Amino acid sequence: MKTKILYPLFATILFVMNAAGQGYDKNYRLLSSGDLVVDKNFYLITVIEKTPEVKTILTGNATLKSFLQKKVEVLKAHVTDTCSAPMSLLGDFFWQQDTAALVKELSSVYKANKKAFDKMIDGHLRPSGYYQRFVGLSNDVLLAKAWNQCFYGMDYIINQYGIGKKMRYPHIDSASYRVNTRSYRIMLKDLVTSLDEISNEFDVFYKPSLAIAMQLMQANDRDEPARLEPLEHGINKAAYEQIQKTDWKKYKYAAIVLPGAGPELMIPIGHAGKIHCDVAARRYLAGDAPFIIPSGGYCYPFKTPYNEAEEMKKYLMEKYNIPASAIIAEPQARHTTTNIRNAVRLMIRYGVPVDMPSLFVTSVSQTKYSAAPSFDARNMRELGYTPYTGKKQLSNHSIEFYPVIECLHMDPFDPLDP
């Protein structure tokens, strides 16, 4: 019995220590490049672009200049050559073939300019939370892992939206068009030609591949990470303001996390989504928690125009008269694993207490699935950690859990919801 009581408490203490130490800082303000898709997928690059001293070091390095020049030359060659197949046009923009040489050079650059890089790492990468799983590592290792995430992330996007490879979740996240069609090949040729016109602006070695990756996401209408943002100024404005006024001592739970259930038809909300909302509304109306967090993105069916979290919020307000100030929409998660992870991200960044338990409330079928050890294994396999601790099934429709700060860590394996 004592173990069950102390375990969540230990997790809370660990959370606070991490947040106050060399990791996430609630007072840190995220930097912006003007492109939220870039910021969420490649925050290291956003920070470099906003840190003149570090950017100057990278642009002035001869070896890194040669990497840049080679990719610019490839871009220019494709303007006049006869290449038209996706791999022939895009293959040279992958980082995989250059990773070993890059890692060696970037390590040398760090060692020769340690003071400037440490200032950037301690002032931005660590407190941002985007690299929270790396906070126990030394600065040189943390930076190397952050670079590796950038390289892998760009390769992933080019593979998925340029080459047409079936990556992690192809049934909802794959390219919007058949990449081997004549029209797509023409688009790719037009894309590289368009980028050639601005190639003189590519001043850092990562710019050509980053530009290719972002153009491919744009061509496939894949701007999900930026949709509805900034949430706290729009769809979550009323709830965000209410959080600051909430008397948490009145409640047993901090929030009710409500996962989505994408319909098979092209409709706003399906029968499963309504059941999820119904059971969550009952817990809210019973006074269990002051907020419901409906979670789900633009997922099912493929290329749906409807957002699960937004539609569930409408349903809760219209059927149960639950006020907007009590609903924190999380409109980007694409899976049950990231429903919890993303809800926790908002809780942390919005100031919802993390030393209180929260509830995961859903249908009986999804409760059984999420309460099973196999769900923990799936989280470990896909995220590298479980986005909760102290998980305990309470009923057919609810699971108690505590948040973990690792949820802030960005995921290069999911460019639509990093």
Residue with the bigger pLDDT between 362 and 5: it is: 362
Average of per-residue pLDDT values in the chain: 93
Domains of the chain: 2-19+230-408 (3.40.50), 36-222 (no CATH)
Residue 167 scores a pLDDT above 50: yes
| pLDDT score, position 168 | 87
User: Is residue 402 helix, strand or coil?
Assistant: strand
CB 22 within 8 A of CB 135: yes
Q: Is 273 in a helix, a strand, or coil?
A: helix
> Is a pLDDT exceeding 60 seen at residue 180?
yes
In this predicted structure, the answer to whether residue 257 has a pLDDT above a threshold of 50 is yes
* 399 neighbors 391 (Cβ within 8 angstroms): yes
Joined together, the tokens standing for residue 129 give 């939370």
By residue count, the chain amounts to 418
The secondary structure of 106-117 as a DSSP string is HHHHHHHTHHHH
d(CA 117, CA 112): 10
**Is 160:173 a contact under the CB 8 Å cutoff?**
yes
- 3 state SS for 4-61: HHHHHHHHHHHHHHHHHCCCCCCCCCCCCCCCHHHHHHCHHHHHHHCCHHHHHHHHHC
Q: How far apart are CA 300 and CA 283, in angstroms?
A: 26
Q: Mean pLDDT, to the nearest integer, of 294-319?
A: 96
192: enclosing H helix or E strand: helix 182-196
pLDDT at 362 over 90: yes
Amino acid making up residue 174: S
Cis upstream peptide for 230 (omega within 30°): yes
Q: How far apart, in whole angstroms, are the C-alpha atoms of residue 409 and residue 346? A: 13
- Tokens 């409640």 sit on residue: 251
| C-beta separation of 412 from 152 below 8 A | yes
Q: Which helix (H) or strand (E) holds 183?
A: helix 182-196
Sequence-separated (6 or more) residues with CB below 8 Å from residue 343: 255, 257, 293, 295, 328, 330, 333, 358
pLDDT (0 to 100) of residue 22: 84
Token reading at 236: 């979550």
Please enumerate in sequence order all residues whose Cβ is within 8 A of that of 153, keeping only pairs 6 or more positions apart, or say none.
41, 42, 213, 412, 415, 418
Q: What percentage of the chain carries pLDDT values higher than 70?
A: 95
Q: Is 391 helix (H, G, I), strand (E, B) or coil?
A: strand
Give me 385's structure tokens: 């950690």
How much is the pLDDT for 6? 34
DSSP-assigned letter for residue 163: I
Task: Answer yes or no: is pLDDT of 14 > 80.
Answer: no
Cβ atoms within 10 Å, residue 50: 14
> What CA–CA distance (Å, rounded) separates 298 from 309?
9
C-beta of residue 325 within 8 angstroms of C-beta of residue 239? yes
**Structure confidence at residue 5 as a pLDDT band (50, 70, 90):** very low
Of the candidates 163, 418, 216, 174, the one whose C-alpha atom is nearest the C-alpha of residue 302 is 174
Rounded to whole angstroms, the Cα distance separating 213 from 296 reads 25
**Residue 67 near residue 61 (C-beta atoms within 8 A):** no
Q: Is the peptide bond before 301 cis (omega within 30 degrees of 0)?
A: yes
pLDDT digits (tens, 9 = 90+) for 76-118: 999 999 998 999 999 999 998 888 889 899 999 999 999 999 9
Query: Which pLDDT score, from 0 to 100, does residue 100 have?
Result: 85
Q: How large is the average pLDDT for residues 215-237?
A: 97
pTM above 0.85, yes or no: yes
